Structure 1
Amino acid sequence: MALPFPLAEEPDEFSREAGRMMFANPVEFLKGVVAMSGLPPADRLEVCFAGRSNVGKSSLINALTNRKNLARASNTPGRTQEINYFTTQDGPYLVDLPGYGFAQAPVAVVAKWQALLKEYLSGRATLRRAFVLIDTRHGVKAVDEEILTLLDRAAVTFQVVMTKADKVGVKDREKAIEQVRGALAAHPAAYPEIIVTSSEKGDGIATLRAIIAGLA
């Protein structure tokens, strides 16, 4: 019997090359958005990256796009307060969402950008898939459940990308994967494959590229 929420398989040669070519072309920062009125025209598909603060989102986007500083990582969790749009050549927008959860910012500021995050996830018709990043060291936490439930309600398909897989041993990694599988079983919008990645080692990056190219 197949496991629920299996790990994403390595892409075939065609899919791998399609993903490589998409991200070999220039990927450029388009704009940072602080209100729904500032979103670019919905003239193409888009995929977004969501995750709690300090999950490794900026590092993953940089690894994905072969750029060292395309997405700016902050040493202070919760400093990204905008929806950041990036353009791919003949492909989808890549959308970097504000980190949720812990944030070293005034309560009112946190509330404002968390509301923007929820409004975007609920109301962007061209959003094809949300990639929800989960730290392999910690698994799914209560704050992640809030976003997963929101995506269920918005009927936005989401796929879990486990980050920092190189930071734990094999047994702890397997335990974390099982915990994530259990959590996803309660979410009807969850795409039934998990991507395990390491931005530092490059693990899973070709798989994620191929999946995004396939969506486009």
Structure 2
Amino acid sequence: MHEQLFQTFNQLIPLGPQQREELRRVTYPLELPKGSLLLERGQICNHLHFILEGVVRAVHYDNWKEVIPWFGFEGDIVNSHLSFTYRQPSLESIILISDCKFLSITYESLQYLYSKDPIWQNLSRLFIERYYIDVQERLISFLSLTAYERYEQLLQKYPDIEDRVNLGHIASYLGIRQETLSNLRKRRRRHQCNQGKTN
């Protein structure tokens, strides 16, 4: 169960046997069914969750309209970053799209790791850097790419997303209507068909 988590961390900083054991001691397994709230808007986020299996979505509300700023898949660490870091009520909810299995850690346990070994602070910094890079890339995509290009970019990052995520949720993530997404999907299929004919 922990090997997936160790592999993710090892991509940034290799963990030694003692650090792996410390991480085992402070993380705990969590299983929740599809539709569960991992975090409700207005709550203070007190946990980090590493996704072992399943998909989650973040939900932000703009004048009661549901907006999806991000998805979480296997291998992702998910939480409400601002709420977790600054101990303030979350502006977003996190909802399970499918049945999920997690390895989770509390805010207090993470602070304990920070006090034990500077490697955990270094790892945290690297994850924060990755988070802000993702946020910046998403902002740039909205400023510089067409809806079709954003759709293509999403499929490159998550090739099986249409098999796992409701099309309405994908449309919300892309900032378009579901009808527009249907047209983009038809356009892409035509393009692939034409490519197949020319090859």
Normalized per residue, the structure richer in helix is 2
Taking CA–CA contacts closer than 8 Å with sequence separation of 6 or more, which of the two structures ends up with the larger relative contact order?
1
TM-score normalised by the chain length of structure 2: 0.26
Greater CA radius of gyration, 1 or 2?
A: 2
User: How high is the TM-score relative to the length of structure 1?
Assistant: 0.25
